[in-house]
Structure 1
Amino acid sequence: MASRRSSREPSLLGICLCLLPFVLSCIQYFLLWLPADRPSLTSALVKALPVLSLAFFSWIQEAGSPSAPWVRLGLLLSALGDVCLVWPNGFIYGMASFAVAHVLYIWTFGLRPARLGLLPPVGLAFGAFYAFLLPHLPPALAVPVAGYMAILGLVVWRGLARGGRGRTLGALLFTLSDSVLTLDAFVSPVPAARAVVMTTYYAAQCFLALTVVEHGHPSPKAE
Structure 2
Amino acid sequence: MSPGRRERHARVALVALGLVTVVDLICLVFGSGLGHALAKPLLMPLLAAHVGLRDGPRLLVAALLFGWGGDVLLLFDVDAAFLAGMSSFAAGHVCYLVLFKRHAFLGHDGENGAPRVRAAWPAAGYGVALVTTVALLWPDLPPELRVPVAGYSVLLTAMAYRATRLGLTAALGGALFMLSDTLIATGVAEWPQLPRPDFWIMATYIAAQLLLARGVLDAAGRAAPKALVAN
Q: Deviations over 1:142-174 (max 9, x none)?
A: 111111000011111101133241x11110110
Following TM superposition, by how much is the alpha carbon of 1:73 offset from its aligned partner in structure 2, in angstroms?
A: 0.5
Number of aligned residue pairs: give it: 206
Distance (Å, rounded) in 2 between the aligned partners of 1:23 and 1:43: 15
Deviates more, 1:178-187 or 1:114-123: 114-123
Q: Deviations over 1:31-68 (max 9, x none)?
A: 334858x6x7x754421211111010111012xx4xx2
- Residue number in structure 1 paired with 2:22: 27
Runs of 4+ in structure 1 deviating by more than 2 angstroms, as ranges, are 13-18, 30-36, 42-45, 111-116, 118-121, 215-219
| Greater RCO, CA 8 A, separation 6+ | 1
One-letter code aligned to 1:101: G
Q: Are 1:83 and 2:72 counterparts? A: yes
Q: Are 1:71 and 2:60 counterparts? A: yes
Aligned residues of 1:122 and 1:153 also touching (Cα < 8 A): yes
Following TM superposition, by how much is the alpha carbon of 1:17 offset from its aligned partner in structure 2, in angstroms?
A: 4.2
Distance (Å, rounded) in 1 between the aligned partners of 2:123 and 2:173: 18
Q: Which has the larger radius of gyration?
A: 2
Aligned residues of 1:134 and 1:142 also touching (Cα < 8 A): yes
- Residue number in structure 1 paired with 2:179: 176
For structure 1, the residue ranges without an aligned partner over 5 or more in a row are none
Distance (Å, rounded) in 2 between the aligned partners of 1:161 and 1:92: 29
- Residue number in structure 2 paired with 1:60: 53
- Residue number in structure 2 paired with 1:93: 84
Aligned residues of 1:177 and 1:196 also touching (Cα < 8 A): yes
For structure 2, the residue ranges without an aligned partner over 5 or more in a row are 110-115
Report matched runs for 1:77-156 at 5 Å. Answer: 77-89=66-78, 90-110=81-101, 113=108, 115=116, 117=120, 118-156=122-160
TM-score when normalising by structure 2: 0.78
More helix by share: 2
- Structure 1 residues 210 and 131, CA gap change in structure 2 (3 angstroms): same
TM-score when normalising by structure 1: 0.80
One-letter code aligned to 2:189: F
Following TM superposition, by how much is the alpha carbon of 1:217 offset from its aligned partner in structure 2, in angstroms?
A: 2.7
Aligned residues of 1:133 and 1:187 also touching (Cα < 8 A): no
- Residue number in structure 2 paired with 1:188: 191
Identical residues among aligned pairs (%): 30
